[in-house]
Structure formats: C-alpha cells, structure tokens
Chain A
C-alpha cells in the first residue's frame, strides 16, 4: 500500500511569493495515496528535514514527494534525508516548482499555483511506481592519463604525481612544452618563458611517477570512470629511443629541408629534428614527408641514409612502424590546448599575402634569442629593423563576421608585452596599437598596460583597422581613431596581428573520441560554468587549460592544479558507487533491431545472441544488452526502442506514463 507524504517548500519568497504553497499542500492532501501534506518555509533546512523524518515515522510513510527547487540543487539532500528516515533513497521524488514554475511565472500567481499543483500530482503519481534501487560498486584503476604536454598537461601531471599517483602524459608532437615553449617572455613580469617552463619539463620527465608518451595520438577511449581503456598510437619515430643518445649529429648532417613549424615557418629545419634545443625527450624524429630517403622510396628508389651512417649509436631505424597499444586509467585530464586563428581570412589585412603582416606567435619567434633571427627584431621580407610597427588587436576575436564572437582574453596583455619588447630591443622604433577595448583584469595586468603607455611610450589608438596595403617596401595601415572621430593612416614597416585563440582544429573529433561535450566554437564544455569548471559531464574526465576556452598561463596553471585535485580525489577511492538509474532491456520484448546500439552515446549497448525455445524448437536470435557500468541513464535507448523493451530504471515507461496520466486528468 502506497503511503505518500507531500512537503511543499516556500524557498523563502522564491516560491512563496508566486505560488500559494498552502493551497498546493491542501489540494494534494486529497489526492490518491497521499496521507500527509504540509508546507514549510525552507524544506532543505535542518528543521525542514526533521519535519520530513518525523512525518515518515508518525504517518508511516513509505514514499516522499518534496515540491521545491531543481533536483540538480537538492535531490541528494532529500535522498539522504529520506534514507536517514529509514526509507530507500529512491522512494523519493522532487517536483520542481521553482525554476520550472515560480521563477518563470512571476506575476501570474493563480496560474503558477495551478501548475505547481499539477507538478506535485505528477510527482505523486510517479513516486507510487518507484522501486527500491541500490547503488552498485566498481573498482578504480589508480593511474591517470593527461592528454597534451603543454604547460596545462605538465602541471596537472606533476600535481597528480606529487600526490603519489602514476600518471602518463600523452603528447602528439615529438616534445612536451606546447605553446609556452614557443613564447619568448611572459606577462606581466617579463620573465623568460623557457626559463620557467623547462625546469617543469625536466621535472616531469624525471619524475618516478610520470611516464611520457610523446609523438603519439589518442585513438580510442572505452570504459567508464575509474576504468578507462585507452588505445594509443605511438607514431614511428624512425629513431630507436633506447639507443639514441641525443647527440644531434644526425640533425646537423641531414640534407632534407622542411618548414620549421616551431618557428612558425620563418626558417627551415632538417628532416630529422627535435622541435627546439631544450626538447624533451631530446631525441629526434624523422619527418617522413620531407626525408629524402622516404620520399625516394615512394619512387621505388632508396637514396640518402646519411643519418644512419653518421649515427654513432646506430639508433636510426627506417623500418620502424606505428605501434598501437591499450593502457588502463582511472581518470583522464584533457589538456589539449589551443591553436592560433589564421588571419588570412581578412581581406582588408591582405589575405595573408603581405610578408610583413605577421601574427603574435610569429613575433614571439622573431624576438626569441633561439629563434630564426637570434632575437633581432627584423621584418621577414628584407630582414631590416622596422622603424614603425603597428599592432592590431581583436583579429578574429569579437568579430563573428570573420572569426569568433568571444574575447580571446590574452591578446590585450600579449600585445602590450610585445610592444614593450619592441621598445626595449629597438628604442627608436615607434609602436602603435589599434584596439577596441583594453581588457586587463589580472593581477598586475592593468599596471603593466599603464607602464606600456606611460613609460614605454607605446601609442594606443582606439579604433579598428579598415585596410592594410603594400606601398612599395612599406605598409599603409588605414583605420579610424574613434576617440578623435577621425580617420588615421600610418606608414608602417611591420604589422603584428593579435590573432585570436581558437580550439585545436581536431578538438571536436577529440571530444567525440573521449566522449565529452564541446561548444559551437569547439571548446570543451565544463560540467558547470561556475561550480564545475574543471569537470565534464562524463565522470572521470577533467579539463585543464585552454582546451576549455581562451586562457593565459596563470589561469591555465591554476586550472591544471584544480583538475589534478579532482583526479587525486577520484583515485584515492578504492571503489566507486555507481548510479542505479541505468537502462535495462527486456529480452522477451527485444526484436534485436539494434537501433538503441546506434543512439547510445556511451557505447553501453551491444547485441548478443541468445538461445530460446519457441514452438518446440530451439532458436537463436539477437537481443540488445546494456552494460550498466557504462550506461549514464540518458534514456536515448528508451525513446528509440519501438517495442518498449528498453526501460530506464527510476524513469521507466510506466513511471513516465503515470505522470502523463496525472497531468491529463487535471486537464480533462
């Protein structure tokens, strides 16, 4: 016999000022199966919870409905309360009469009260069909994977490792270091980027708990929180890592040439290379696209082989192949970073045609002592020192027409930093910065910006650049000074465009591989913008750094630390509780059509063959089966299933229909 208690919460004035809570309680008192119904100011408060516990005892309730806020807010609170009262926590339902009612129907009190009554009746109808459910348990693999070896990945790995857990860093390029390794100086303190990064890189590579897997790609992620099976493709380096001593002879003798990506293609590098001198591991790889030997093999020849001849350790292995292996992890941190927007979509800035119109990252390499110009600021076209430099901010940012609608957050500061570097290196060079707004909300940032203007004499012009064109050896930059309300024209030697931060070009594919969400732009989606900034909607997968959205180094390092704490919290458990609200498939009803297999976003459903007796014969047929550990309870299979064989525990077809019936009775 169902004995339901209904508890209507005022939530102070949040609900009470719109919904007549006493009336809701009154109406429900006469509803079938309801034996007790009251309202109270704050149901989630301790006295409120005690009210529920006492009512369960006094009225011998076996089911509880609380009409209050969203289950996201307080479902766990009330489930715990009901459990303390001696009931199964799943014999509880919540009717959301705040977000779904009072907040959206303010000023329509009567209708809102009627709606709240309907919502409460639906919850009562459902709770009467609820079954006692028990949480399951799953083991935890005490090892983490960090995807991406930039500063975010390195920091997250170090923090996890220092807490005593094993962690692997998976990096797709030949070395860890990421974008920070390409940057010359860091704002607002102008300390050398490599000087603060390389000690962390060394620490990561020599840490007993950290394993580096470089030049490797993430192929597949299977499993679930605590038990991920990750398939990794280790790309053929063509160099035997166990033999190579990193002496570098091969690189100096290699006759092959390729664009040097690390130096933004401002110079060439050999075909066998490490991306930069402080690379870790400091062992080269052969870029087979530009290697003379591999190129000649395509034409049926076999030439060169100089690197193998000069290698004193015999480490060159032309026959090496990609290796695919599976590793097991309990948690994954995504730290795949960002990419730089390509300004060549801007016709007004010359479609990328003018050699002396460069991006911010190009400039970092130009000004870096180990860069192609040994740190001398010169124009790419003729290697002359520029006497006038114009910088343009918000290139691709805050411009949905050409690029992205968001602010990239870092450009105001890196433009200011680069301007001061130019003034330091070339005191006679004039620097102009075109800006829309100056956004410097970080510690010491606004002070830096003011120094850039006041001490370094960098001229800020508020307005957009409408056109850049080549005029002989120089560039004419036309724009508007919107403070003076006047067009301006600057004869410049070099233009630096503050290109936006955008997601890696394969971010969406990566998100699909690991099974996490991403937004319209391709940034990975956090579980909650405010209260879950490093978690994702997939349990056990966390975010660090710019893969979640544009971020500077301080924010990236902070987020990496936060992700690491979440990972350690997870790995510290021996067992994980699993949610019983998972799907089940009734084999007697299942026709084996397999539609549910296709719609399941968690790959939790598979087809299996069963044998059964039918009309005196043994036949075998296919039916779908749910792996409860993988199932996240989304319900996609239940709405897809044509024969209603799929049923989501706690949200069964019978429960949902009971709610619909309850609602329709009022309407009819």
Chain B
C-alpha cells in the first residue's frame, strides 16, 4: 500500500510525536508513505478566512503533485485533512472551480487524488482491529476516551465518519484491547487556536473537555489531531493549576497507542516528548502478564 504523505506544518513541530509514531506504525504495517516533494502549507484557519480561492488552491497544489504520481494522500492532521478534502470536493463538484484552481496553481488537478485522513486509512483500509496476531502487547486494562475533535468528521461532505457520534477511533482502540469509556465530548471543539489568541474563550473550552474526561474515569485521552493534542496536553498543567486540580490525563495520538500495542519503543514513538508525563501509563500495560513490557 502506497500513499503520498502530507505531514503539514505541525508534524514537524508541536505534533512531532504524531509524525514519529505514524512513520513507525506505517512501516510496521507495510504502508509506504512518500512525502509530497515541495509541499506547501494547507492554509488552515488563515487562508480560507482571507480568500476563498487561496483557501482552495493551497491544498489543491499538494493534491495535484500527488495526482501526478498517481497516489492518494494520507494526512494525519485534522485541519490539513479538512482543508485538503474541501479542495478535492469542490474540484469534483464543479468544472468551473476546477478550471479556475488549475489556472491558479499552474498545474492540472482533476480531483482524482483523494485526500484521506490517516485515521480513516487505518480504520478502513487496513482492518488493523481484526488482526489480533500483530498485537504483541494488547492494551488490556487501559481505559480511554476517544476524542476526534471538531474538524475530522465535519462538515458532513468532507468528514468520513458519523458527524455526531464517530466510531472509527473507538473501533481501533477496542481492537487494540483498550476499554473505550463512553462520554459526550467526542466531537466538542477544544478551542483550537483560541487558546493562543483569545485565551479567555479558548481555555474554558479545553477545560470542559478535560473535566469531562476526568469525570468519565478514563486513564487517558486518545486523539488524532495535533491541534487538539496541543491544547489538551500542553495546556493541561496551566488549566489544572488555575483551579487547583491535578488532571494527570496523558493524551496520546492513536498511532502512538498502535505502536505501544505492537510493542514498539516509547522513544521511537515520541511518547517521552509529551508535556503530561505519558510513559508511566503505557509502561504499566501488560506488566502483570508478560515480562517484555514497554521500555522505561
């Protein structure tokens, strides 16, 4: 299986663990990820609020490069995915849009190269959750809440799962042996960049999600979005301190937990890089039963 790979800006910076774990896990499953040469910013948040055509053309250029190579594009970041999928959908919808975008980006894009969320690929194409043999260290005893964020499955024409009650992440986690705890915040907005530019609005949004996750009794939060990760992981300590609460809720990318279940090295997956210490919890997994537990 071969995909063009679009890491986007965050997977080189705040979301580097997502990049590391994605590459490691993809390799283990025999998925070839070919990074799009000379890729550009997807334009998320800024471009489409400035110009409709800029918002569509930036991701369309990346897709066009992949199309020339005859590949669909695997996109880990939810925002990159949403913007790229939007470009693809609009190009497929109207000849006029396609012609205009092709003129702007100076190369053909017919909408044949599809934008695919990494989560969707792992869930639908690979059927990882059915392959019990690959799991060297099932996540038995790990209680997780799945957090999709607001962008991955919405709006309906670009999302790939149920917009109100998505299940792809749940099914992957269940297949890995984890216990998925029900809660009502799967698709609530984490506040995204508002935690930076308007903290008085953004922080309470993240805070509610952390409160609900804590109340649910889960050990950790699993996500597929680097923006959500930044808010839930990086801001957790700050939010907790303000109200004198110690959340102690590690946040993982689903690819990290996939790696853990494949018994990969924590460092290789980027787990020691988290703000909320995340190693201890995964190290506990399987310790009672097997001696080959995770690396310290």
A347 at the interface (CB under 8 A from B): yes
Complex Cα spacing A348 to B188, Å: 11
B164 touches A470 (CB 8 A): no
Q: Indicate with 1 or 0, residue by residue over B159-187, a CB within 8 angstroms of chain A CB atoms.
A: 00011110000000000000000111100
Min Cβ gap A332→B in Å is 43
- Total chain B interface residues with beta-carbon distance under 8 A: 11
A131 at the interface (CB under 8 A from B): no
Residue among B162, B164, B185, B188 with max Cβ neighbours from chain A (10 Å): B164
Choose one: A347, A467, A469, A471; the contact of B162 (CB below 8 Å): A347
Complex Cα spacing A346 to B185, Å: 16
Complex Cα spacing A351 to B163, Å: 12
A347 touches B165 (CB 8 A): yes
Min Cβ gap A476→B in Å is 7
Q: Which residues of A contact B188 (CB under 8 A)?
A: 467
Min Cβ gap B267→A in Å is 37
Q: Which residues of A contact B162 (CB under 8 A)?
A: 347
Q: Which residues of B contact A467 (CB under 8 A)?
A: 164, 184, 188
B163 touches A471 (CB 8 A): no
Complex Cα spacing A472 to B182, Å: 11
Q: Which residues of A contact B212 (CB under 8 A)?
A: 471
Q: Indicate with 1 or 0, residue by residue over A322-365, a CB within 8 angstroms of chain B CB atoms.
A: 00000000000000000000000011100100000000000000
B164 touches A348 (CB 8 A): yes
Min Cβ gap B188→A in Å is 8
Choose one: A351, A471, A472, A476; the contact of B164 (CB below 8 Å): A351
Q: Which residues of B contact A348 (CB under 8 A)?
A: 164
Min Cβ gap B63→A in Å is 28
- Chain A residues touching B, range: 10 to 19
Residue of B nearest to A401 (CB): B156
Complex Cα spacing A76 to B289, Å: 93
Min Cβ gap B249→A in Å is 18
Residue of B nearest to A489 (CB): B208
Interface residues of A in 449-477 (CB under 8 A from B): 467, 469-472, 476
Complex Cα spacing A364 to B70, Å: 60
Q: Indicate with 1 or 0, residue by residue over A459-500, a CB within 8 angstroms of chain B CB atoms.
A: 000000001011110001000000000000000000000000
B164 touches A347 (CB 8 A): yes
Q: Which residues of A contact B185 (CB under 8 A)?
A: 469
Q: Which residues of B contact A469 (CB under 8 A)?
A: 183-185
Q: Which residues of A contact B183 (CB under 8 A)?
A: 469
Q: Which residues of A contact B164 (CB under 8 A)?
A: 346-348, 351, 467
B163 touches A347 (CB 8 A): yes
Complex Cα spacing A470 to B182, Å: 9
Min Cβ gap A490→B in Å is 14
Complex Cα spacing A655 to B71, Å: 63
Residue of A nearest to B182 (CB): A470
Q: Which residues of B contact A471 (CB under 8 A)?
A: 184, 212, 215
Q: Which residues of B contact A472 (CB under 8 A)?
A: 215
Interface residues of A in 635-668 (CB under 8 A from B): none
Min Cβ gap B288→A in Å is 31
Residue among A346, A348, A351, A469 with max Cβ neighbours from chain B (10 Å): A469
B165 touches A470 (CB 8 A): no
Residue of A nearest to B187 (CB): A467
Complex Cα spacing A472 to B217, Å: 12
B163 touches A476 (CB 8 A): no
Min Cβ gap B250→A in Å is 23
Min Cβ gap A495→B in Å is 13
A470 touches B163 (CB 8 A): no
Min Cβ gap B293→A in Å is 35
Complex Cα spacing A347 to B176, Å: 26
Q: Indicate with 1 or 0, residue by residue over B202-215, a CB within 8 angstroms of chain A CB atoms.
A: 00000000001001
Choose one: B165, B182, B184, B215; the contact of A351 (CB below 8 Å): B165
Min Cβ gap B165→A in Å is 5
Complex Cα spacing A469 to B186, Å: 11
21 A-B residue pairs with Cβ-Cβ distance under 8 Å, sorted by A, are A346-B164, A347-B162, A347-B163, A347-B164, A347-B165, A348-B164, A351-B164, A351-B165, A467-B164, A467-B184, A467-B188, A469-B183, A469-B184, A469-B185, A470-B182, A470-B184, A471-B184, A471-B212, A471-B215, A472-B215, A476-B184
Q: A347-B165, A469-B185 given; name 19 further pairs at CB < 8 Å.
A: A346-B164, A347-B162, A347-B163, A347-B164, A348-B164, A351-B164, A351-B165, A467-B164, A467-B184, A467-B188, A469-B183, A469-B184, A470-B182, A470-B184, A471-B184, A471-B212, A471-B215, A472-B215, A476-B184
Ranked nearest first, the 8 interchain pairs of A and B with the lowest CB-CB distance are A347-B164, A469-B184, A348-B164, A347-B165, A347-B162, A351-B165, A470-B184, A347-B163
